[in-house]
Structure 1
Amino acid sequence: MLRNYFKIAFRTLWKNRLFTGINLLGLSLGLASVGVLILFVQRGITFDTFHENTDQIYLVQTETRDGRYNQTVHPILGQLVKTYPEIEDGTHFQGWYDLWIGYKGKDAQGDTKFVDPGFLSIFTFKLKYGNPQTALKDRQSIVISQQISESLFGNKNPVGETVSVNDTLNFKVTGVLEKIPENSSLQFDVLAPIAFLEADKSFANNADWYNTFSNVYLKLRKDADVAKFQKQMPAFAKAHFGTADADRGVHIAPLKEYIHTENPGFKWMIYGAILIAGFILLIISINLLNLNTSIAFTRAKEVAVRKVTGSTLKQILFQFWTESGIVLIASLLLSIVFAVTYLVPEFNEFRQGRMQLVLSWERDYVTLVVLAGVISLIAVIAGTYPALYLNKLDLRDTIKGKLSNKAGGRGWTRSTLIVVQFVIAFALAIGAITVRKQVSFMRQAKPGYEHSNVVVVSTDLQFKNEKAARSQFKSILDGLNQDSRVQSFVTSSVVPTKYWGNYNMYLPEKETSKEVRFRHLGSGARYAETYGIQIVEGREFSDEIDKDGKNNPVIINESAMKALGWKTAVGKRLRQKNNTEVYTVVGVMKDFHYQELKDKIEPLLHWYGGPAGINNYLSIRLHDIGQAKKVLSAVEAKMKQIPARKPFSAFYASDALSSQYNHMDGIWKMVNFVSLLSIIIAFAGVFGLITLAANQRTKEVGIRKVLGSGVWEIVYLLSKDFLLLVVIAVIIGSPLAYLFEKNYLQTFEYHISIDWYIYGLVGLFALLLTMLTVGFQSINAALTNPVKSLRSE
């Protein structure tokens, strides 16, 4: 009997191969997309949960009146461990600089984190080589990634080998890391003992009870009362923070909160992925159900004959389930190929290195189980609904072919499902257009500085002899001073689009109540000139006037002046909250967008970084950007004469401005793909339904033509219902799309306005596409010879 089910199923699917093909297309594309989205959701909801003691791991957050953030002061860990018995162990996870590791003439550098000895006991990061319990106990021990290990040592086990660190110290390799999971908030290539960093004077000078730049993690005892522990934190903060930090608190948060505090939009990405996956499943299910139900009416006599010959409802259901199951299994296989070869690589490109999807059949069995469950459910529904309906039909009417009135009773269900499909497709299309227009707006908006004629050279090349490099670099700057193609240049620690998240509280010299949070950093003379930033009051830095650093000159922006409540700023003095050193404002910059337009321009302060010299960046403004390659070639030739570990690199300021929105392009591509997918599936379904409708009304069309109906009357007869459904979908979808567009745009400080004509254009496009889809089959039916039509069964 089972063989007969499959034999009949294959015959039926081949007989209706157009509809089988449409189902395969929609299901394979849809299931591939749903599978990738489920993978992303799985990675997201299991973020940082792979550690064996996840429930015991907490991070120390700083709590302020503006909210919480994940960094805290460096000395807090030792004090917490000493004070509270609830803490079993703790560790810093501190970045400061990346170590250069050398071995027999080879150099390698990776993302370096300085940690305490218990780090690998608290967190479950597996080692390919080495003992995690002892790997970091020695002050001059080092744990490296597998990639760095292979670049220095090849395929051999390097544990026990001695390497040079920054050319001055010898460290022993004590471990090699296995690949770190993509959904880990802690990512690194090198681990070194925190004791080594604490001996660095520049670090020690900042590692106080004021500067919050440390990531600190605690492992609490299994029986610890976390709520009780948290209640002790206000008293702890009051006892250890100075009077200037009376408003600063300490919060103990579960490890899983790290990603959501660091990136508040992450949970919305997960919700969005779930919503989109749900939409796609709904669309493909509707399509399959509509086509299967419509085709079922052509099989009414078959079901009636089965019943007359003794078939039970169970046997009829098994026949329909078998057919649906074959289509869905074939679709699943096609979807896996499509996902692995195209969707996953595209998704990873869209993520731009953040939480990449790396497929692992062993780890991703959950996704396969979910997909299998979804497919089984769809197969059961798609097979059950038409089978149950046909089973209820009167045998006499069915055998006589009297089904028109009976079949029509279910038309409202099919119409409702078609409208739902088109509403989703319409809303997603509006969403894709909105995202694209917003990205274009941000790329084309004037950022408040001139970027078109500026090239930027990266000068932090890790020179092997800093003293000699400074002397040689000065000759490069002298050459630029003499170059007639160069209008201006500046060396600085940052450039627009690459500003650090470096903040401090500032207040007027003689006031204690007016505190303003500034983003602050150093820049050189002619920064404003090089980037065309308008100085609205005072002047910018000058190597002649400010070279002695007298009065600690600073330049602020308009937002800073407004936040301080000043109408004029030049000559006024500021101090940081954590020290008594006084800074004198010598100029005010017009507000400019030094970061994405998504965020509001914050109060900004530049301090004088000293005369031009080696810094992170050398920005060069040219009279003619066409001369950029020649100027850069000359600079590159001179910089290559300075021994360095990193290669020469440069970029155009315009490219940097545009590229900061590349992640938005990724969002647009995802929404655009889903929109296109939903449109393809929806219209493929409509094409199948109009084809079926035309076939079912073949004799009616022939009679109408014999009685004098023209081609366009026949086309109108067959098309009007579908066109009406699209109009209804546009009417229903417009307010839904508007709500999405409004809420999405409100996440941007600077955004486009809502253009109502877009709704009309998308609706018109949907109508035209529907007319083309249904019109093709309608015209084909209308042009059929009525003699052939009247001979139709």
Structure 2
Amino acid sequence: MFKNYIKIAFRSLWKNRLFTGINLLGLSLGLASAVVLILFIQRGLTFDTFHRESDQIYFIQTEDKDSRYNQTVYPILDQLLKTYPEIKKGTHVQGWGNAWINYKGKDIQGSTKYVDSTFFDIFSFKLKYGNAATALKNKQSILINNDIAISLFGDTNPVGQIVSVNDTLNFTVTGVLQNLPANSSIQFDVLMPIANLESDKNFQENADWYNTFATVYIKLDKGASVSKLEGKFPGFVKTHFAEGGKDRKIRIAPIKDFIHYQNPFFKNMIYGAMTIAVFILLIISINLINLNTAIAFTRAKEVAVRKVTGSNLRQILTQFWFESGIVLVSALILSIFFAVSYLIPQFNEYRQGRMQLMLNWEQDKVTILTLLLIIGIIAFVAGTYPALYLNKLDIRDTIKGKITKKTQSRSWTRESLIVIQFALTIILILGAISVRMQIGFMREANVGFDKENIVVVQSDMQYKDENTAVGQFTGILDDLKQNPHIKSISTSGVVPTKYWNNYNVYFSESEPDKEIRLRQGGTSSAYTKTYNIRMLEGRDFSEELDKNGENNPVIINESAMKALGWKSAVGKRLRPKSNQKVYTIVGVMKDFNYQELKERIEPLIHWYEGTTALNSYLTIKFDDSKNAVTVLAALESKMKKIPAKKPFKFFYLSDEVSRQYNDLDGIWKMVNFVTILSIVIALAGIFGLITLAANQRIKEVGIRKVLGANVREIAILLSRDFIALVTISIAIGLPLAYSFVKSFLQSYQYHVELKWYVFALVGVFALFLTILTVGFQSIKAAMMNPVKSLKSE
């Protein structure tokens, strides 16, 4: 019997090969997109949950008046472990400069985290070589990832080898890490014991009970109450925190939420991917069900004969399930091939190294089984509905061919599905347009500073002799100032798009009740001139006036002045709550967007760093970017003469500003692909249905032509129902699209407004494509010779 089902299924699919082809096209493309989106959703929803007992792992947060963030004071961990027995273990995961590792003259720098010896008691990162239980016990231990290990040692096991770190101390390689999971919020190339940081003088000065730069993870006893533990923290803060930080709150959050606090937009990406995946699955399911139902009417006699010869409902259902299953399994095979060979590499390119996707049975079996379950449900519904419908038809009328009227009657279920399908397609079209317009708006918006003809050189190249570098760099700057093609230069610790995530609370010396949390950055003279940032009052830093730094000069932005309630700020003095320094405001900058336009402009303070090679960036403003190539080549030649570990690197600021929106650009490309896909599937479905409708009414068309109907009248007759359904879809889809688009755009602090005519044009476009599709097939049917269509009568 099984063999019989298969044989009849293939025979039926081949007989209706146009519809089989349409189904395979829509399903394979749709499922390929769904595979990628479901993989991304699965990675996003399971962030950091691969660790053993991940439900017991938490991280410490700080909450102040304005925000809640994932860092805290450094000494807190030891004190928490002493004070609260429900905290089993904890570890710092601290960044503080990336280590340079040297082995036999070869230098490699890797992203470095400094951790406690308990690191592997909390986290389940796997080692290729070494013992996790002992790898971090000694201060002079170092763990490296597999890529660094291969670069330095080849394919041999390097555990026990001695390497030089930062040209100062020798460390023993005690472990080699396997590749970290893509959905880990903790990413690193090198691990070192945090005892190495604790002996650093600069680190010691900052590792107090005020500065919140430490990332701390803890592991709670099973069943420990988070709310009860947090309820004990206010007293802990009052007892231990520095005077300026006693108004803060300590929070703890599960490790799975770390990524969402660090990057709130990531959650929107996951929800957006969920929405699109649901849309795709709905569209391809609707298409399959519609076409299967429509084709089923041509098989009414077949089902009637089966019933006469003894087939029951279960056997009829099984036959239809087999046919749907064969199409879906074939589509799944094609979709996986397309996803792995094209869509996943494209998606990974959009992500630019962040959370890369890769299909892996061990990690993705839940995702694959979920997809198989979805396919099973679609096959079940697509096979069940037409089988049940045909089973209800009267056997006698069906065999005698007296169900023509019934088969041509309007199916409200099918028409409703067409309306839903096109409404979803319209939402996707407007979604793609809104994302594209938002990207264009952000890339072209006036951000409050010049970005054209500006090149930023990464001037701190990890010099081997800093004193020598400073002297040589001064001469290089003097030469640049003499170049007629250079309008201005500036050195700084920060530049637009690359501001530190560094904040402090300041208060007015004359009005201590006025407190403000300021984002901090270091710049030198000519910063505002080079970037053409307008000064509202006061002046920029000056090498002549500020080189001694006697008054600790600072410049604030307009938002900071407004937040402090001042109409004028020059001459006023600010004090940080972290120390006794007093800063004098010498200028106020007009607000400029130093970060992405999705973020509001935060209150900002610049302190004076001086002009030095040790600043992170050298900014050069050219009269024309065409002149940059020659100057940069000469500059590279001079900079390479200063012994350093890092290569000479630079970027054009306009490119970097644009690059900020590459994530959104990737989203647009994904939505755009899905939109085109949904249009193709919807139109292919309509094409299949109009073809079937024309075939079912072929004799009616012949009679009408004999009686004098012309081609236009017959084309309208065949296509008007479909055009009416698409018109209803437009009426439903446009308001829903407006709601989705408005919600998406409002997630950006600065956003474009979609005009009414954009929605109108999308409606007209959808209607035009439908008329084109159904019109072509309708005219083709109307032009058929009536002699051929009526010859059997």
Q: Counterpart amino acid of 1:31? A: L
129-138 vs 391-400, which deviates more? 391-400
Partner of 2:14: 14
Q: Deviations over 1:511-533 (max 9, x none)?
A: 22111111111101000111111
- Give secondary structure in 2 for the equivalent of 1:330: helix
Partner of 1:511: 511
Task: Please report how far the alpha carbon of residue 324 of structure 1 lies from its aligned counterpart in structure 2 after TM superposition.
Answer: 0.9
Give distance in 2, aligned partners of 1:536 and 1:250: 38
Partner of 1:52: 52
Q: Counterpart amino acid of 2:65? A: R
Task: Please report how far the alpha carbon of residue 792 of structure 1 lies from its aligned counterpart in structure 2 after TM superposition.
Answer: 5.5
228-237 vs 87-96, which deviates more? 228-237
Task: Please report how far the alpha carbon of residue 47 of structure 1 lies from its aligned counterpart in structure 2 after TM superposition.
Answer: 1.3
Alignment of 1:26-425 (within 5 A): 26-222=26-222, 224-409=224-409, 411-425=411-425
Q: Counterpart amino acid of 1:571? A: G
Task: Please report how far the alpha carbon of residue 770 of structure 1 lies from its aligned counterpart in structure 2 after TM superposition.
Answer: 0.5
- Give secondary structure in 2 for the equivalent of 1:607: strand
Give distance in 2, aligned partners of 1:63 and 1:375: 46
Give distance in 1, aligned partners of 2:222 and 2:330: 49
Give distance in 2, aligned partners of 1:583 and 1:126: 48
Give distance in 1, aligned partners of 2:367 and 2:48: 18
Give distance in 2, aligned partners of 1:331 and 1:151: 42
- Give secondary structure in 2 for the equivalent of 1:342: helix
Counterpart check, 1:619 vs 2:634: no
Give distance in 1, aligned partners of 2:724 and 2:10: 36
Q: Counterpart amino acid of 2:507? A: L
Do 1:491 and 1:614's aligned partners in 2 also have CA atoms closer than 8 Å? no
Counterpart check, 1:501 vs 2:513: no
Do 1:58 and 1:254's aligned partners in 2 also have CA atoms closer than 8 Å? yes
281-290 vs 249-258, which deviates more? 249-258
Q: Counterpart amino acid of 1:497? A: T
Alignment of 1:559-570 (within 5 A): 559-570=559-570
Do 1:698 and 1:792's aligned partners in 2 also have CA atoms closer than 8 Å? no
Give distance in 2, aligned partners of 1:342 and 1:20: 24
Do 1:547 and 1:611's aligned partners in 2 also have CA atoms closer than 8 Å? no
Task: Please report how far the alpha carbon of residue 565 of structure 1 lies from its aligned counterpart in structure 2 after TM superposition.
Answer: 1.1
- Give secondary structure in 1 for the equivalent of 2:735: helix
Q: Counterpart amino acid of 2:339? A: A
Q: Deviations over 1:703-735 (max 9, x none)?
A: 111111111111111111111111111111111
Give distance in 1, aligned partners of 2:452 and 2:272: 37
Partner of 1:767: 767
Give distance in 1, aligned partners of 2:416 and 2:66: 48
Do 1:233 and 1:249's aligned partners in 2 also have CA atoms closer than 8 Å? yes
62-71 vs 186-195, which deviates more? 62-71
Question: TM-score normalized by structure 2?
Answer: 0.98
Counterpart check, 1:443 vs 2:443: yes
Q: Counterpart amino acid of 2:655? A: D
Partner of 1:453: 453
- Give secondary structure in 1 for the equivalent of 2:521: strand
Q: Counterpart amino acid of 2:115? A: V
Give distance in 2, aligned partners of 1:704 and 1:236: 90
CA 1:401–1:236: 2 relative to 1, 3 Å: same
Do 2:498 and 2:595's aligned partners in 1 also have CA atoms closer than 8 Å? yes
Give distance in 2, aligned partners of 1:385 and 1:306: 18
Task: Please report how far the alpha carbon of residue 694 of structure 1 lies from its aligned counterpart in structure 2 after TM superposition.
Answer: 0.7
Give distance in 1, aligned partners of 2:222 and 2:6: 57
Do 2:142 and 2:192's aligned partners in 1 also have CA atoms closer than 8 Å? yes
Give distance in 1, aligned partners of 2:550 and 2:788: 100
Q: Deviations over 1:144-171 (max 9, x none)?
A: 1011101100000000000000111100
Give distance in 1, aligned partners of 2:593 and 2:224: 47
Do 1:490 and 1:612's aligned partners in 2 also have CA atoms closer than 8 Å? no
5+ long unaligned stretches in structure 2 = none
Q: Counterpart amino acid of 2:349? A: E
- Give secondary structure in 2 for the equivalent of 1:89: strand
Give distance in 1, aligned partners of 2:229 and 2:460: 44
Give distance in 2, aligned partners of 1:703 and 1:223: 79
Counterpart check, 1:750 vs 2:754: no
Counterpart check, 1:575 vs 2:578: no
Partner of 1:466: 466
Partner of 2:641: 641
Do 1:459 and 1:615's aligned partners in 2 also have CA atoms closer than 8 Å? yes
Q: Counterpart amino acid of 1:80? A: L
Give distance in 2, aligned partners of 1:294 and 1:542: 79
342-351 vs 705-714, which deviates more? 342-351
- Give secondary structure in 1 for the equivalent of 2:430: helix
Alignment of 1:482-631 (within 5 A): 482-631=482-631
- Give secondary structure in 1 for the equivalent of 2:713: helix
Q: Deviations over 1:57-114 (max 9, x none)?
A: 2211112233421100000011111222222221100001000000011111111000
CA 1:94–1:744: 2 relative to 1, 3 Å: same
- Give secondary structure in 2 for the equivalent of 1:173: strand
Task: Please report how far the alpha carbon of residue 477 of structure 1 lies from its aligned counterpart in structure 2 after TM superposition.
Answer: 0.7
Give distance in 1, aligned partners of 2:412 and 2:637: 75
- Give secondary structure in 2 for the equivalent of 1:498: coil
Do 2:460 and 2:613's aligned partners in 1 also have CA atoms closer than 8 Å? no
- Give secondary structure in 1 for the equivalent of 2:435: helix
Give distance in 1, aligned partners of 2:791 and 2:757: 49
Do 2:408 and 2:696's aligned partners in 1 also have CA atoms closer than 8 Å? no
CA 1:772–1:394: 2 relative to 1, 3 Å: same
Q: Counterpart amino acid of 1:117? A: S
Task: Please report how far the alpha carbon of residue 274 of structure 1 lies from its aligned counterpart in structure 2 after TM superposition.
Answer: 2.1
Task: Please report how far the alpha carbon of residue 247 of structure 1 lies from its aligned counterpart in structure 2 after TM superposition.
Answer: 1.8
Q: Counterpart amino acid of 2:54? A: T
5+ long unaligned stretches in structure 1 = none
Do 1:456 and 1:650's aligned partners in 2 also have CA atoms closer than 8 Å? yes
Q: Deviations over 1:111-162 (max 9, x none)?
A: 1000001101211111111111110110111011011101100000000000
Do 1:699 and 1:792's aligned partners in 2 also have CA atoms closer than 8 Å? no
Do 2:459 and 2:613's aligned partners in 1 also have CA atoms closer than 8 Å? no
Q: Counterpart amino acid of 1:45? A: L
Do 1:525 and 1:612's aligned partners in 2 also have CA atoms closer than 8 Å? no
Task: Please report how far the alpha carbon of residue 223 of structure 1 lies from its aligned counterpart in structure 2 after TM superposition.
Answer: 5.5
Do 2:58 and 2:253's aligned partners in 1 also have CA atoms closer than 8 Å? yes
Q: Counterpart amino acid of 2:559? A: S
CA 1:408–1:782: 2 relative to 1, 3 Å: closer
| Count of residue correspondences | 793
Q: Counterpart amino acid of 1:10? A: F
Do 1:502 and 1:519's aligned partners in 2 also have CA atoms closer than 8 Å? yes
Give distance in 2, aligned partners of 1:522 and 1:66: 23
Alignment of 1:702-741 (within 5 A): 702-741=702-741
Task: Please report how far the alpha carbon of residue 702 of structure 1 lies from its aligned counterpart in structure 2 after TM superposition.
Answer: 0.8
Do 1:492 and 1:617's aligned partners in 2 also have CA atoms closer than 8 Å? yes
Q: Deviations over 1:17-73 (max 9, x none)?
A: 100000001111111111222212221222111111212222111122334211000
CA 1:29–1:300: 2 relative to 1, 3 Å: same
Q: Counterpart amino acid of 1:708? A: G
Give distance in 1, aligned partners of 2:115 and 2:727: 62
Task: Please report how far the alpha carbon of residue 257 of structure 1 lies from its aligned counterpart in structure 2 after TM superposition.
Answer: 2.1
Do 1:127 and 1:175's aligned partners in 2 also have CA atoms closer than 8 Å? yes
Do 1:430 and 1:737's aligned partners in 2 also have CA atoms closer than 8 Å? yes
Partner of 2:680: 680
Give distance in 1, aligned partners of 2:559 and 2:227: 40
Give distance in 1, aligned partners of 2:231 and 2:612: 51
- Give secondary structure in 2 for the equivalent of 1:364: helix
Partner of 1:670: 670
Q: Deviations over 1:369-394 (max 9, x none)?
A: 11111111111111111111111111
Give distance in 1, aligned partners of 2:267 and 2:435: 19
